Amino acid sequence: MGGESEVDIMSIEVKDVMGRVAIAVLESASFAEIVAAMKRFAVGAVTVIDVERRPVGVVSEDDLLLKEADPVRHSVTIFESRKQRQEHHKAAAVTAAHLMTAPAITVTPGTLVRDAARLMHARRIKQLPVIDPATGRIVGTLHQRDVLSIFARPADELKAEVQAVLTEPERFSVDVDGGVVTISGEAGTRSQVIALTKAVRAIEGVIDVVCEVTVSEDDLDLVIVPPLL
């Protein structure tokens, strides 16, 4: 498709696709109340807010499952890692303030959907609280399904188009996950890798490109600035 469609996709903001329901619980919410909220809205996580409705953390299903998955939560030892101690602490917790993972990762209504999608992929999360940039208060929730409604091309179709722009596709491996394209293999020069990444990034439906291609030759000039005397 032409450049106009690509510009349209890139300019879509979170406010255009986000859910207007702010799925959140107070810091004082009990374990049972959190589970009830997740069940009611069919979500895998809820935002934890303070009394001013500002996000301070998130409680996910994984956080709640620690209650059952941690058989030794009452026998913490000095030999445990920091992560293990945090998990034991969560397993013994009974309120959102102690169960949550903090700080909350947020976006604003004006955040580009493409940028929000990259954030979700990088942090391996499926929803983001949307906050008012002026007050910091939660105003909605952006779900992964909202993002994928924009970048909804099938992975196989996207992969085929990526391979089509590769001059020597047999030298590369292509993987597509949620619109994020990962390319590995070997190229002749660094400039070829840069051109390849730019071409793939321009394909409609590609959220981001992770380039793991190695090069035989760095053909880009390196300018060394002498120190000031």
Q: pTM here?
A: 0.59
Which residues are CB-neighbours of 120 under 8 A, at least 6 positions away? Answer: 126, 128, 144, 147, 178
The pLDDT tens digits for 123-144 are 888 899 999 999 999 999 999 8
Taking the CB of residue 103, how many other CB atoms lie within 10 A of it? 10
pLDDT for the residue numbered 5: 41
List strands edge to edge, sheet with 55-60: 24-26, 45-49, 55-60
159 compared with 92, residue with greater pLDDT: 159
25 compared with 114, residue with greater pLDDT: 25
Phi/psi for 72 (5° steps) reads: -120, 35
**Cβ–Cβ < 8 Å for 96, 27:** yes
pLDDT for the residue numbered 73: 46
pLDDT for the residue numbered 204: 73
pLDDT for the residue numbered 68: 59
pLDDT for the residue numbered 7: 38
Nearest partner of 26 among 65, 62, 7, 54, judged by Cα = 54
23 compared with 2, residue with greater pLDDT: 23
Where is average pLDDT lowest: 4-8, 94-98, 135-139?
4-8
**Cβ–Cβ < 8 Å for 176, 160:** no
The pLDDT tens digits for 189-229 are 888 889 889 889 888 778 889 999 998 877 665 445 555 54
The pLDDT tens digits for 31-89 are 889 999 999 988 889 999 999 999 999 999 888 886 655 544 444 444 456 666 655 55
